[in-house]
Every structure is written in structure tokens, then in C-alpha cells.
A and B are shown apart, each in its own frame.
Chain A
């Protein structure tokens, strides 16, 4: 017997109603039920951080949370940042500083750093390095990501 729930999630400011099986992770609800494929899934057990989103403003791995748990809560995904025509400050900084190569891990890094810069708009290089260690990137060697985070912090206009 499937355990089915009707839930409502506020995603990037918009209320979305969806019917989910309880075992469906938030990541799969976002991607498959809501078509928000910007959230990527790497390891599906909380190690790689590719699926990082914000839940009630805090960074969370959407593979370690069930969609049904987000009922009545606010979720922010990479789709809520800038648009391709109008990147936000952090996204622009990733482009300027070559903070990505293949781009698979990028949405997770963007959401992780969005959370950091909201909590602490002026982090030290060490604090950025510590937070960036949360997520796995297999292309860049991280140097570009660290520079991008520094540039975004220094431009003191983190889009929210």
C-alpha cells in the first residue's frame, strides 16, 4: 500500500500543491513532480552536496529529506536565483571566476554559498573554504569556486 500525501510547498516564493508518496525524497519531488531539474542528485546519501537547497532559509541536502517533510515550509532552489539573461551576483561571480566546468555540482554550490552569504555577508577566506568543503566538485579543483565566493562577498550585493 502506498502512503500518499497531499502537500503544499512554497517554492521560490510560489505555493505549489503536489501529491507525493512519503518515501519520495524532496530532491525527487522537486525534479520529477515539479519539473525543477536545476537541483541535481549525485550520491543520494548526503555526501556530495549537489542537491543542496534551502529549507526555511537553511541549507539542507534534499536527498536526506522527504518531500512530505516540506509540507507547509519554504524551499528555495537554484531556479529562484537569477535567470540566464539576468544572473544574480553570485552566479555572475561563478562565471567571471570560472567557478564551474561541467556544471553538475554548481546548483548545490550556489545554494550553499547563498546560505553562507546571507548568514555572514563578509566571510573570511577560511570560513568560505570551510563551507565550500561541504560539497564535492570533481572538475575545478575548487580554486575558481573560492574566488567566485570571494568576489560575490566583496560585491556586497548578494541577491536574496
Chain B
């Protein structure tokens, strides 16, 4: 349970981090909160040749909101999102602070970072699900400068993203307010990774749904949107029947894996139950 040897570099700016990433090559990894990476290194599931410690790049620790939406700096801790007290942001994007308690535990949330979670791209990670749910954009900086990646193009496979080897995630942007949104999950022990997690967001006009997003975690190699469930809701009058139909459509659409934590059928069952719970809370919230 000890990591293999690596070179350690501490940087204070994005420019320094990117130039080191470029110089050290593909075996170098960025170290932010380290709450996933260091555990994987202790198991030697990850053996980077070098770590570039960005945890003290203070310029990336912020949450700002204005009429263009919400911006979260990559090094903002989970705990800072959980304690978000900006009145505008916490009304329009309240699903972020409301969902943070599902992430690990107090110590993990104090150290782990929002950007680190997105870049790690775990298929059951709450921030990855909510980024997809809320149509986020990811800002990546590389030697050629900055580019903005729509979240739908960002997660490319299990723990894989669209980031190039010499690129660094610096910010996540969410433009559209989704006051009616919620996330629910199930795990055997609170704070463990979810066996299945579901997030739902709806735009409402009276009791009429004008747009919907359903995202499931833990059933595929990445977090996924379920168009079949969204289309049940969009344009419909929202009542218990519509919610039940959407949940059933989500359960039919997913193709979950089997492992020690549960069979595919069990995960499909959880998908239906959790989509229903997420929709119930999403619709009730902000009424």
C-alpha cells in the first residue's frame, strides 16, 4: 500500500503547470486534491512518473455568478460548493450545494476539488452527473491557449476525457439556470460510490414541462443522458403518471453492468426508483 516512485513538482500558476505537463510528457499527472489519484497510487493502479501539484494555484479557487451564469474554478473544494452562500447562485443552481453531501465524507469534501472530480471522470461521480445535467462547459488550457468543450463531448470513456495530455481543466461554466433539479443515489454505506445515481432537471411553465434532462451514473462507462426519459417529459403535463413513465423509460434505456454490488436487473430497478425520487424532488424544489 505504498505508491511507486515519482518526481514531485509544485506549481503556482496554470502557465507553469501546462509548461511542465508539456515538458514531462504523458506519464505526468496533475495532482489537485488527490482524493482519487493518491488512493489509486497507493494501490499502484496508477503509477505516474511525475506529479505536478496544482493544489496551491489559488487563482483557480473561486465560485462566481452573474447574468451569464455560474463559473466554478477547478480547485474549488467540494466543501466550498456545499457551503455556497451566494444568494443568486444558490437559488438558480441550488442542486449543486444540495447534492454535495452525497460526495464521500467531511474530510474528503474538505480536500477534494470540483475540477479534479470532473477531470477524473468517474461514471458515478456526482459532479460529473450534474455537469452533464446542467449543460456545463469545460474550460481547458494547453500550450496553444484556451478552449471550451461542451460537456456532452467531454467524457469519452471510463475515466477518460477529451483533455489532451498537455491540457489542464481550469474552470467549469454553467449558463442556464435549472432551479428545478435534484440528485438521488443508492450505496450500501453513505459516502461510498453510488451503485446507481440519478439526476433530474426540468424547466416548468405552470405544470407544463418545457425541457428536461435525466442523467444516470453507475450504469455505463461514463455518466449518461437518457433521451428516452427526457422526451417523455418535454412538452408533457407533469404529474405522477408522467414521472412514472419517465422513470420506466430510463430503466428500459440503460444497459447496466453486473458485479458484486448488484445484478444488471437490480441496477435497472434502482434506476427506475432513483429517477422517480430525483424528479419528485426536482419538481417540488423551487415551487
- Partner of B107 from the list A2, A71, A112 (CB cut-off 8 Å) is A112
The answer to whether residues A60 and B53 also contact, given A3-B5, A46-B35, A115-B106 and a CB cut-off of 8 A, is no
Q: A63 to chain B: closest CB distance in Å?
A: 7
B147 on the A face (CB < 8 A): no
For residue A60, which residues in chain B have a CB less than 8 angstroms away from its CB? Answer: 107, 110-111
Contact of A69 with B1 in the complex, beta carbons under 8 Å: no
Contact of B1 with A45 in the complex, beta carbons under 8 Å: yes
| Chain A window 25-67, contacts with chain B (Cβ cutoff 8 Å), 1 for yes, 0 for no | 1001000000000000000111001001001001111011110
The answer to whether residues A22 and B51 also contact, given A116-B106, A134-B191 and a CB cut-off of 8 A, is yes
B108 on the A face (CB < 8 A): yes
Q: What total of chain B residues lie within 8 Å of the partner, measured CB to CB?
A: 29
For residue A46, which residues in chain B have a CB less than 8 angstroms away from its CB? Answer: 35, 38-39, 108
Q: Restricting to A92-130, which residues have a CB under 8 Å from any CB of B?
A: 112, 115-116, 130
Contact of A45 with B42 in the complex, beta carbons under 8 Å: yes
For residue A21, which residues in chain B have a CB less than 8 angstroms away from its CB? Answer: 5
For residue B271, which residues in chain A have a CB less than 8 angstroms away from its CB? Answer: none
For residue A135, which residues in chain B have a CB less than 8 angstroms away from its CB? Answer: 105
- Partner of B39 from the list A2, A23, A45, A71 (CB cut-off 8 Å) is A45
- Partner of B43 from the list A28, A45, A133 (CB cut-off 8 Å) is A45
- Residues of B contacting A: mostly: mixed
Q: A59 to chain B: closest CB distance in Å?
A: 4
A16 on the B face (CB < 8 A): no
**Interchain residue pairs with CB less than 8 A apart (15):** A3-B6, A21-B5, A25-B2, A44-B2, A45-B39, A45-B43, A59-B110, A63-B42, A64-B39, A65-B34, A65-B38, A66-B38, A130-B190, A131-B106, A134-B191
Contact of A133 with B105 in the complex, beta carbons under 8 Å: yes
The answer to whether residues A49 and B35 also contact, given A2-B5, A21-B5 and a CB cut-off of 8 A, is no
Q: A140 to chain B: closest CB distance in Å?
A: 17
B158 on the A face (CB < 8 A): no
Closest to A63 in B: B42
Separation of A128 and B251 alpha carbons in the complex (Å): 36
The 8 tightest CB contacts between A and B, nearest first, are: A134-B105, A22-B8, A44-B1, A59-B107, A58-B110, A45-B39, A64-B38, A46-B39
Q: Restricting to A61-91, which residues have a CB under 8 Å from any CB of B?
A: 61, 63-66, 68-69, 71
B3 on the A face (CB < 8 A): yes
A5 on the B face (CB < 8 A): yes
For residue B2, which residues in chain A have a CB less than 8 angstroms away from its CB? Answer: 23, 25, 28, 44
For residue A130, which residues in chain B have a CB less than 8 angstroms away from its CB? Answer: 101, 106, 190
Separation of A4 and B126 alpha carbons in the complex (Å): 37
Contact of B107 with A134 in the complex, beta carbons under 8 Å: yes
Contact of B106 with A134 in the complex, beta carbons under 8 Å: yes
Closest to A67 in B: B8
Known: A25-B2, A46-B39. 10 other contacts (CB 8 A): A3-B5, A22-B7, A23-B3, A23-B5, A69-B10, A71-B10, A115-B106, A130-B101, A131-B106, A134-B108
Separation of A55 and B191 alpha carbons in the complex (Å): 21
Separation of A131 and B5 alpha carbons in the complex (Å): 34
Separation of A71 and B9 alpha carbons in the complex (Å): 12
For residue B79, which residues in chain A have a CB less than 8 angstroms away from its CB? Answer: 58
Q: A25 to chain B: closest CB distance in Å?
A: 8
Q: Restricting to B40-70, which residues have a CB under 8 Å from any CB of A?
A: 42-43, 51, 53, 55
